[in-house]
A and B are shown apart, each in its own frame.
Chain A
Amino acid sequence: MAAVKLAELRVLANIVEDLDYYQLLEVAPGATAVDVRTAYHSVARRFHPDRLRQEGPDVVAAAERVAKRVSEAYAVLRDPRRRRVYDQQKGGGERRLQLVSGGAEADRQVSQEREGKTPNGRRYITLAHQDLARDNLKNARQNLQMALTFEPDNAWVKSTLTELKEKLR
């Protein structure tokens, strides 16, 4: 086993608590889902505990410590809901996201987005929901497009629109 790699692992195990998820997976903040997965595989390829078993218990323990944080980073960055919450939190200096509450917080945000965050946005989104219930996809699309002008970063509206466009094609 390359001594360099083991030395790297030792260092990594020591500083692992200080790294954020992007640093752990060695990806840029703008990394795509595919980048994140590729990075996860390549970190695992180097430091997966199973691949270091013959190096002795200390090395395995260090690898285990790193692997736990890498899994956590991956669980957040591969999941757009959690990743959004994490990015917001990270602005405030938080390096870790509790996976469970991260999911719950994201759900809360999504449900807020499903209802609309501005008075005008809410109006059009409500109309769109009614259209969807009646299976009137064209009207729903129009109303969502209107909603988007008031809430340009509403991810639920955006993704629903994409779905509708796909279906109407």
Chain B
Amino acid sequence: MSEVAIGIDLGTSNSAVSIVQDGQVEVLPNTFGERIMASAVGFREDGNILVGNEAKANVVHEPSSTVTSAKRLIGRYFFSEEVKKAQAICPYQIVEGPEHSVRVQVREEVFSLPEISAMILRELKSVAESHLGHEVSKAVITVPAYFNDNQRQATKDAGKIAGLDVLRILNEPTAAALAYGFGQGLTQKVAVWDLGGGTFDISVLEIGEDVFEVISTAGDTFLGGDDFDDRLIDLLADEFIQAHGQNLRQNPHTFERLKLAAENAKKDLSLEDTVRIEIADVAKDEEGNSLSISRDLTADDFSKLTNDLIQRTFKVCDEALQQAGVLARELDGVVLVGGPTRLPVIREAVKAYFQMEPKTDVDPDVVVAMGAAIHASELVAPQQQAFLLDVTPLSLQVGVAGGFCEPVIERNTPVPIEQSRTFTTVQDNQETVVIRVYQGEQKLVDENELLGQFEFSGFPRARRGDVEIQVTFAINSDGIVDVTASEPGTGEAASTRITLSSGLSEEELQSILSENRTDRVLTDMVARAEEAAIPAAEPLPELETAPPAVAAAVASAAASMAATAPAGEETLDLATDEDGGVPELEVDSDLSEGEMNALLEGSDEELTQPALQETTAPAAEAAPAPPAPAPTAKAAPAPPAPAPTAKAAPAPPAPAPTAKAAPAAPQAAAAAPEAAPADDLFDAVGTDLRDGDPADPDEDFELGS
């Protein structure tokens, strides 16, 4: 029997699992017949964990013990804007974990984000298993195309925790295009416009029968359907303050009701022109009389409230089209993905922007899961029917002196790819450089995402500029980034996979795996067993205001897709093949994981702190325009014998780009953040910056010519 691999769409709001079986692509329903499951995780008092629509329905009752939209937080740093925003609106507690990672605290227990996502994956895995009647371990999981490497790694960790062998992290719009064009023999240039609950992606693809080539991709990981709800919530809350002088946002329960009403009103607008918003008993006035909200909302009102959000997506589209070198009207089609694309206001806007009617022959809610399943099945048993040529969504850069970045691989470069750039030391007798890897499009390191850093030493001591260090970035087919540094003179090489990014160290991951709290999820399997044992299962907590999200989605799906197969029956033909045996991809690294950990141990503090540039700020101030040359002799503080390992290495004199590599330095000074305690910086390698020569640019290297 050929091996089965599942495709999982792990969404911000909703998730789905799909498989290819007997040539058919099928989105699998759970015990309740739901093919789309809310990405909500509810922690019950008895310690059990509920995942899905039931958990979401319960959020109004137990807001602080229900985690929703976890995908907004996964792979982020605690100090990031998104986390601050989430803290303001999420009823559950968001706390800081080690290395500036994010954790959520529920009922006295602290969970990492990969663990939360793992609970959702665990449920989906179980849905697939109860459908197939046997265990499944291999999976393709989708992420927004614009996710950075930290977010991808964290998602991969989530898969691991859920007991899945993640064959590939696949971009959502690419998956959608695959499901759209699979087996159709199309030769088309298409755009996939994907607006989910929390993210927006646009990808431009060239489909050539069996080839799905992504030409460009762009996105916004801070923009989704939830933001549309927020506008409505603001409207309702502000109106209530005006009318009654009470702020409904202060009570978490009331706030959840407001949120639910807003989301439902928005969804209803996909079917009707005017909807009525009724929320009974939201508050009491001074005399104890109950107060309610009751108002009509027209599609027009809604459009005015949210127009700027829609326009924001088109800015991103401009970028993607420009990068692809394609004009909107040159496209053969626009594929819509994501719940919000059911809204007529959005469809109209998309139609106006692309000057064409968007495709309606795909189900925007399940197309991503279907594409993931198709790719999964091609990976375990290649049918040679469809293959993907993707690009890297974000530029990979190296941090150099002055708080600047130098790109090594630019965004929208086809992958797999390998590129090198040569840098030089900035100080005489420099023995160590710290190579910091960033992802993003900005010139300043602070404005990009730090993926990780490692140290490189063992090269000969020489005058500054005389030592050349070649930094090579490779992105493999499986999306993993490898960074290697070498000194061509001696051939000394250090290499690392960037593994520091998900917010979980290897040890933490191991301890999570051994404890495995995902076992507490009352999975579909358990539900089925219970159902068999006790025919009259406990009724779902029903809410007056909210029909289960899925029922609504399915209803609207059916309504808006009259032309296609009814919901629940989308299938695609796919020949089957008997083949198994998936070779594991080997990624060569000169360091074992253990060695890597040893190397990085102790450097925890400076790792995730993007304020590393502080070290360079004084230098920038002291020496405007090209950074002052490092004074000789002083540069390397009393170097002991050359250090073979990073730990023993003396002060890593940090990077300094030459004038040609760096824009005017005063900018750097202006952009440098407030000084932070030096303890946070380079302790691990033994330098106390406070003792350093202030004129001494503590910088790794500069670009070699």
Contact B389 A44 (CB under 8 A): yes
B59 surroundings in chain A (CB, below 8 A): none
Judge whether A72 and B582 touch: CB under 8 Å: no
Asked if B409 contacts A71 (CB within 8 A), the reply is no
- Contact between A54 and B583 (Cβ–Cβ < 8 Å)? yes
| Min C-beta distance of A34 to chain B, whole Å | 11
User: Given the complex of chains A and B, what is the CA–CA distance between A58 and B477 in angstroms?
Assistant: 15
**Distance, CA A110 to CA B135, complexed state (A):** 58
A contact residues around B213 at 8 Å (CB): 37, 40-41
Residues 395-446 of B contacting A (Cβ, < 8 Å): 407-410, 413-421
Q: Are B414 and A37 in contact (CB under 8 A)?
A: no
Taking CB as reference atom, which chain B residue is nearest A71?
B414
Can you list, as one digit per residue, whether each of B193-218 has a CB less than 8 Å from chain A (1) or not (0)? 00000000000001010110100000
- Specify which chain A residues have a CB less than 8 angstroms from the CB of B417 in the assembled complex: 68, 71-72, 75
Interface size on B, residues (CB 8 A): 36
Shortest Cβ distance from A62 into chain B, in angstroms?
12
Report B175 CB to chain A, min CB distance, Å: 14
Knowing A41-B208, A41-B211, A99-B410, the reply to whether A49 touches B583 (Cβ < 8 A) is: no
B408 cross-chain contacts in A, Cβ below 8 A: 100
Q: How far is the CB of B324 from chain A (nearest CB, A)?
A: 11
* Bound CA–CA A40/B391 (angstroms): 14
CA distance A40 to B212 in the complex (A): 12
By a CB distance below 8 angstroms, the chain B residues around A41 are 208, 211, 213, 389
Distance between Cα atoms of A21 and B379 in the complex (Å): 28
Residues of A near B382 (CB, < 8 A) are 50-51, 53-54
Instruction: Say whether B378 faces chain A, with CB atoms less than 8 Å apart.
Output: yes
**B208 contacts which chain A residues (CB < 8 A)?**
37-38, 41
Q: Is the CB of A100 within 8 A of B387?
A: no
- In Å, the complex CA distance between A45 and B210 comes to 9
Q: Is the CB of A53 within 8 A of B586?
A: no
Q: Are B477 and A61 in contact (CB under 8 A)?
A: no
Chain A residue at minimal CB-CB distance from B584? A57
Whether the pair B387, A50 counts as a contact (CB closer than 8 A) is yes
The distance in angstroms between the C-alpha atoms of A108 and B381, with both chains bound, is 48
8 A Cβ contacts from B577-616 to A: 579, 581-586
Q: Which of A38, A53, A99 has most chain B Cβ within 10 Å?
A: A53
A side interface size, CB within 8 A = 28
How does the 8 Å CB contact mask read for A31-71 relative to B, with 1 for contact and 0 for none? 00000011011001100111101111100110010011001
A89 interface residue, CB < 8 Å from B? no
Whether, in the assembled complex, B279 has its beta carbon less than 8 Å from a beta carbon of chain A, the answer is: no
- Of A38, A40, A56, A64, the residue contacting B416 (CB under 8 A) is A64
Against A, the Cβ 8 Å flags (1 = close, 0 = not) of B70-105 are: 000000000000000000000000000000000000
State whether A54 touches B582 (Cβ < 8 A). Answer: yes
Kindly state the separation between the CA atoms of A103 and B413 in the bound complex, as whole angstroms.
12
**Total number of A-B contacts with CB less than 8 angstroms?**
83
Contact of A64 among B379, B476, B579, B581 (CB under 8 A): B476
What CA separation (Å) do A45 and B208 show in the bound complex? 11
User: A50 to B416, Cβ gap below 8 A?
Assistant: no
Cα distance, A60 to B583, chains bound together (Å): 9
A98 within 8 A of B: yes
Does chain B have a CB within 8 A of A124? Answer: no
- Residue A86 CB within 8 A of the other chain: no
> Are B419 and A98 in contact, CB atoms less than 8 angstroms apart?
yes
- Residues of chain B within 8 A (CB-CB) of A64 are 416, 476-477
Smallest CB gap from B397: residue in A: A100
Chain B residues with CB below 8 A from A45, complex form: 210-211, 387
Contact with B along A99-111 (1 / 0, CB 8 A): 1100100000000
Q: Which residue of A lies closest to B420 (CB)?
A: A98
- Residues 116-134 of chain A, each 1 if its beta carbon lies under 8 Å from chain B, else 0: 0000000000000000000
Q: CB-CB < 8 A to B420: which residues of A?
A: 98
Measured CA separation A55–B579 after assembly (Å): 11
Are B583 and A50 touching (Cβ within 8 A)? no
B209 closest partner in A (C-beta): A41
Chain A residues closer than 8 Å to B585, beta-carbon distance: 57, 60
Closest A residue by C-beta to B586: A57
Instruction: Enumerate chain B residues within 8 angstroms of A51, measured Cβ to Cβ.
Output: 382, 384, 387
Shortest distance from the beta carbon of A16 to any chain B beta carbon, whole Å: 11
Q: How far is the CA of A38 from the CA of B474 in the complex (A)?
A: 25
Question: What is the CA–CA distance of A40 and B408 in the complex, to the nearest angstrom?
Answer: 23
Contact between B206 and A37, CB atoms less than 8 A apart: yes
Q: A44-B387, A68-B416 are in contact. Are A61 and B586 (CB under 8 A)?
A: yes
B388 at the interface (CB under 8 A from A): yes
Q: What's the least CB distance linking A78 to chain B, in Å?
A: 9
Mark each residue of chain A from 68 to 106: 1 if its CB lies under 8 Å from any CB of chain B, else 0.
100110110000000000000000000000111001000
Nearest chain-B residue to A67 (Cβ)?
B416
List B contacts of A38 (CB < 8 A). 208
Which residue of A45, A67, A71, A75 has the most chain B CB atoms within 10 A of its CB atom?
Answer: A71
* CB-CB under 8 A for A54 and B579, given A41-B208, A64-B416: yes
Given A56-B583, A98-B419, also A50-B379 (CB < 8 A): yes
- Residues of chain A within 8 A of B416, CB atoms compared: 49, 64, 67-68, 71
Q: Which 10 pairs show the lowest CB-CB distances between chains A and B?
A: A71-B414, A68-B418, A41-B211, A49-B477, A71-B417, A57-B583, A68-B416, A67-B416, A56-B583, A57-B586
* B residues whose Cβ falls under 8 Å from a Cβ of A: 206, 208, 210-211, 213, 378-379, 381-382, 384, 387-389, 407-410, 413-421, 474, 476-477, 579, 581-586
Known: A37-B208, A44-B387, A68-B418. 7 other contacts (CB 8 A): A51-B382, A56-B583, A71-B415, A98-B420, A99-B413, A100-B419, A100-B421
Pairs A–B under 8 Å by Cβ, sample size 29: A38-B208, A40-B389, A44-B211, A45-B211, A48-B389, A50-B378, A50-B379, A53-B379, A53-B583, A54-B581, A54-B582, A56-B583, A57-B584, A60-B583, A61-B586, A64-B476, A67-B416, A68-B416, A68-B418, A71-B413, A71-B417, A72-B419, A74-B414, A75-B414, A98-B421, A99-B409, A99-B413, A100-B408, A100-B421
Which residues of A does B touch, CB under 8 Å? Answer: 37-38, 40-41, 44-45, 48-51, 53-57, 60-61, 64, 67-68, 71-72, 74-75, 98-100, 103
